[in-house]
Amino acid sequence: MNQISPGAFLAPAVDWLNANFHPFFALVTRVIEAVLGGIEAMLLVLPPVGLIVLVAGAAFFAAGLRIAVLSACCLGFCWLTGLWTASMQTLAVVVVSVAIAVAIAFPLGIWAARRASVEAALRPILDVMQTVPPWVYLIPAVMIFSLGRVPAIIATIVYGIPPMLRLTTLAFKGVPTDLKELGQAIGAKPRTILWKIEFPAAKPTLLVGLNQCILLSLAMVVLAGLVGAGGLGAEVTRGLTRMEMGLGLRAGLAIVAIALLLDRLSQGALDRQRRA
């Protein structure tokens, strides 16, 4: 059979990139590893009990007593299953990738809300990004950054951007015009209007976007355990491939605990916003 293989054309291009831009990719790798190492060290510097108390306290002030108890239980469970370090690694990767994804998606989303042409240009790209299965994102990341945590973070960032971008655009388009006009009428600077009028009005929708972004990122980070990203995903993969079901189940439940923690925390903050 006469076959074609686009991959066979692209593979040399990847090799060329790896050969000629190696210093650049190495730099990106080192920066990400350094930031990640720092956050991981921060999460692991306290004894587990200390961190649990700290998170529960923060949750109490951000979202109330119920969420505080829930987060203490979730983290306590991660500790109890003997997967504390792996859980913190996963959490660190999620935190770093969500922060970067938001830093990219937030300004782009505002821009798209201001200009219809930008939104029209972005929409088909976002459509494609959201229909493609998450697995596919790992492939280019692995090809360029090989195995490890860096491709996991890159793929997670790319995967987390679309929901945040969409909801940012939606949030800023939903700001009532009279509020903006009020700002212009009293002679506020565009920057002041953005931060003092539009941002507070858009906040509930923005928090929904953040919640989505966090959950999708967690799903991706867990999946990235397949490409050697470490953390709980790696434990699940180990359980799956070596048939160590006890380990796999413990890691799976710890992931559920982390997912619940992140979801309820961000939703609790949202509910408090709505009530205020």
Partner 1 sequence: MENFVTAFDMAVDDALFWLTDHAAFIFDGIRALLEGLYDGILWLLMLAPFHVVSVLAGLIAWRVMKSPGAGIATVLAMVFCWWMGLWAETMSTLALVVAASVIALAISLPLGVLAGLMPRLDRALAPVLDLIQTMPPYIYLLPAIALLGYGPATALIATVIVAMPPAVRLTALGIRRTPTEFIELGHATGVTPAQMFLKIRLPFAVPSIMAGVNQSLMMAFGMVVIAGIVGSGGLGETIFSAIRTLDIAKSIDAAIAIVVLTMVLDRVTQSLARAK
Q: Could you please report the per-residue DSSP string of 61-109?
A: HHH-HHHHHHHHHHHHHHHHTT-HHHHHHHHHHHHHHHHHHHHHHHHHH
Q: In terms of residues, how long is the chain? A: 276
As measured in angstroms, the least distance from the Cβ of 218 to partner 1 is 6
Task: Please identify, using beta-carbon distances, which residue of 169 and 237 lies nearer to partner 1.
Answer: 237
Q: Which two tokens stand for residue 182?
A: 């009020």
Q: Which two tokens stand for residue 69?
A: 């108890």
d(CA 97, CA 91): 10
Q: Is 26 exposed, middle or buried (0-12, 13-18, 19+ CB in 10 A)?
A: exposed
Three-class DSSP category at 264: helix
Task: Please identify, using beta-carbon distances, which residue of 202 and 269 lies nearer to partner 1.
Answer: 269
As measured in angstroms, the least distance from the Cβ of 60 to partner 1 is 22
| Per-residue burial over 144-159, b = 16 or more CB atoms within 10 Å of its CB, e = otherwise | bbeebbbbbbbbbbbb
Task: Please identify, using beta-carbon distances, which residue of 160 and 183 lies nearer to partner 1.
Answer: 160
As measured in angstroms, the least distance from the Cβ of 115 to partner 1 is 26
Distance, first Cα to last Cα, the chain: 67
As measured in angstroms, the least distance from the Cβ of 6 to partner 1 is 6
As measured in angstroms, the least distance from the Cβ of 231 to partner 1 is 12
**Contact, 157 vs 100, CB < 8 A?**
yes
SS3 sequence, 135-160?
HHHHHHHHHHHCCCHHHHHHHHHHHH
As measured in angstroms, the least distance from the Cβ of 112 to partner 1 is 22
Q: Which two tokens stand for residue 30?
A: 């080192």
As measured in angstroms, the least distance from the Cβ of 50 to partner 1 is 16
Q: Which two tokens stand for residue 65?
A: 């007593």
As measured in angstroms, the least distance from the Cβ of 102 to partner 1 is 20
Interface residues with partner 1 (CB under 8 A) are 1, 3-8, 10-11, 14, 79-82, 128, 131-136, 138-139, 142-143, 215, 218-219, 222-223, 225-227, 233, 236-237, 239-241, 244-250, 252, 255-256, 259-260, 263
Task: Please identify, using beta-carbon distances, which residue of 183 and 252 lies nearer to partner 1.
Answer: 252
Task: Please identify, using beta-carbon distances, which residue of 35 and 259 lies nearer to partner 1.
Answer: 259
